[in-house]
Amino acid sequence: MATATGAMAATSRAPIPAPFSATGDLRRGEQPGWRRGTSGSRLRAAVPARRPFVFSPRAVSDSKSSQTCLDPDASTSVLGIILGGGAGSRLYPLTKKRAKPAVPLGANYRLIDIPVSNCLNSNVSKIYVLTQFNSASLNRHLSRAYGNNIAGYKNEGFVEVLAAQQSPENPNWFQGTADAVRQYLWLFEEHNVMEYLILAGDHLYRMDYQKFIQAHRETDADITVAALPMDEQRATAFGLMKIDDEGRIVEFAEKPKGDKLKSMMVDTTILGLDPERAKELPYIASMGIYVFSKDVMLRLLREKFPSANDFGSEVIPGATEVGMRVQAYLYDGYWEDIGTIEAFYNANLGITKKPVPDFSFYDRSSPIYTQPRYLPPSKVLEADVTDSVIGEGCVIKHCTINHSVVGLRSCISEGAVIEDSLLMGADYYETENDKKVLSETGGIPIGIGKNAHIRKAIIDKNARIGEMCRYCWFAADADLSFLSSPSDSGYFLCCKITKVGINL
């Protein structure tokens, strides 16, 4: 796990100087870059002056060969704005008491750690997070993870929470993505920056925003939209964009089908995709990630569209209609919108995939940061664990775990079987005295009880699963604070079970 401490050290890489062709005689032990004088002495070859790089916007964001050279750099010229999202009804009951970006991810992390880490790894050190629904857990995590670690670095970086508020000018809460940004424009415009980077707080991906911002500047765009290439089967579920031969967006279509879908096909080689993949992925969908030039954002939200609530469906299509330059920027990598229970389940178990996971937390050049918890290593006692990810501070005894993600502080007892499941772990440990009192009063300790069998389930934090419990329907009553039911994709949700489930 990477913490936010030292996060600002992961900054942009310096451009590599142009190579020169002088070579030495390697058989004589001479190094490249040396030449031999007329008297036989070795003289250091003069290194030619650096040649300026010529950058092309036609490069996908995860290209290893492309370089960035922002001037001024992102730490001083870009303001990151992360949107905390709506009520998250499609992720209920995981969002019953927490915002979507605060939902646990990958055993140790929260969803909000992804965009914040991408910003820090991209040298974007000024970050605001706009929150509204169930934000207590999210605010607490951000303050613990980043509150004390960013401001002391160069350029006075920060990660700051901005909660929805009422004012005499605007008595309403946030009505959408654009409205949320509009209500805090008075604060954002105080920063002496060139661009606003607008991000979602509930997406899973790894992206270098510096390349994104550089393409925005090189094309002299007013707005640049991150676009994901996709095939026809997936395209019907997204808002699609059509571009001209310069990558400029000329048309939008929301979840088109039939002839309308066919009309949205584009030549993605324009944006840097190779010809073979361009044939496989002839559509581009908006990722909900944008770069706005500062003056353009102010003009759009205050003058052009003062009542628009959403960026994707109102502001950006409107900007295209009024003649602004709206560019597409291709991102050809793993990306998942964690908007539904099914997407959340698949994204978490995707990190156990072998030989290569869908998303890796092991990239040392672009680490994912989170709050430092100072937990002990996990203890595994005679357990059979295969194809799984185990978080920090777990105690796993004489059990079987297969193809699962086990969150931090999880306690799994003897004989338990965990298969194809996501356990979010616990927020605290119970002492032996606590467990003794619970046992005497008929209570259940936090964790997975003896001989319990959990299969294709999502177990929320601090859940109490009793002995011999099997995945099943649970009958809710006034004494139980949980919701558990089979979903369309065949797995179950168990949230904060305070009594033993049905024993089978």
Compute the CA torsion angle 316, 319, 323, 325 (nearest 10 deg). Answer: -50
Question: By three-state DSSP, how is residue 15 classified?
Answer: coil
CA distance 393 to 377: 5
Tokens describing residue 428 = 């605290």
Other CB atoms closer than 10 Å to residue 67's CB: what's the count?
Answer: 16
Q: What angle, 0 to 180 degrees and rounded to 10, lies between the N-to-C axes of helices 113-121 and 136-146? A: 30
Mark whether 136 and 169 lie in a shared domain. Answer: yes
Task: Please give the residue that has the higher pLDDT: either 56 or 155.
Answer: 155
Chain segment 280-298, per-residue pLDDT in tens: 999 999 999 999 999 999 9
Min mean pLDDT across 12-16, 166-170, 240-244 is at 12-16
In a domain, 390, yes or no: yes
For residue 137, the enclosing domain spans 74-352
Mark whether 85 and 153 lie in a shared domain. Answer: yes
Task: Please give the residue that has the higher pLDDT: either 178 or 390.
Answer: 390
Compute the CA torsion angle 375, 380, 385, 391 (nearest 10 deg). Answer: 0
In a domain, 79, yes or no: yes
Mark whether 348 and 399 lie in a shared domain. Answer: no
In a domain, 370, yes or no: no
In a domain, 361, yes or no: no
Mark whether 144 and 270 lie in a shared domain. Answer: yes
Mark whether 345 and 386 lie in a shared domain. Answer: no
When pLDDT is averaged across residues 417-435 and rounded to a whole number, the result is: 93
When pLDDT is averaged across residues 224-246 and rounded to a whole number, the result is: 92
Mark whether 314 and 399 lie in a shared domain. Answer: no
Q: Would you give the DSSP letter of residue 450?
A: T
57 neighbors 247 (Cβ within 8 angstroms): yes
Task: Please give the residue that has the higher pLDDT: either 218 or 495.
Answer: 218
Mark whether 275 and 321 lie in a shared domain. Answer: yes
pLDDT tops 90 at residue 174: no
When pLDDT is averaged across residues 233-246 and rounded to a whole number, the result is: 91
In a domain, 470, yes or no: yes
Q: Where are the alpha helices (DSSP H) in 311-428?
A: 316-321, 341-349
Which range in 51-55, 62-66, 272-276, 412-416 is most confidently predicted, on average pLDDT? 412-416
Give this prediction's pTM. 0.80
pLDDT tops 60 at residue 450: yes
Mark whether 423 and 342 lie in a shared domain. Answer: no
Indicate the helix (H) or strand (E) that contains 74. helix 74-77
In a domain, 457, yes or no: yes
In a domain, 7, yes or no: no
In a domain, 29, yes or no: no
120 neighbors 4 (Cβ within 8 angstroms): yes
Mark whether 196 and 285 lie in a shared domain. Answer: yes
Mark whether 323 and 403 lie in a shared domain. Answer: no
- Chain centroid to Cα 352, Å, comes to 17
Chain segment 140-159, per-residue pLDDT in tens: 999 899 876 565 545 578 99
Please count the structural domains in the chain. 2
Say which CATH number the domain at 142 has: 3.90.550.10
Mark whether 151 and 90 lie in a shared domain. Answer: yes
When pLDDT is averaged across residues 408-428 and rounded to a whole number, the result is: 94
Other CB atoms closer than 10 Å to residue 231's CB: what's the count?
Answer: 11
Chain segment 64-102, per-residue pLDDT in tens: 555 667 888 898 999 999 998 767 678 888 888 888 899
Mark whether 417 and 335 lie in a shared domain. Answer: no
β pairing state of 400-402 and 104-105: unpaired
Say which CATH number the domain at 442 has: 2.160.10.10
Angle 154-14-46 from CA coordinates, rounded to 5°: 130
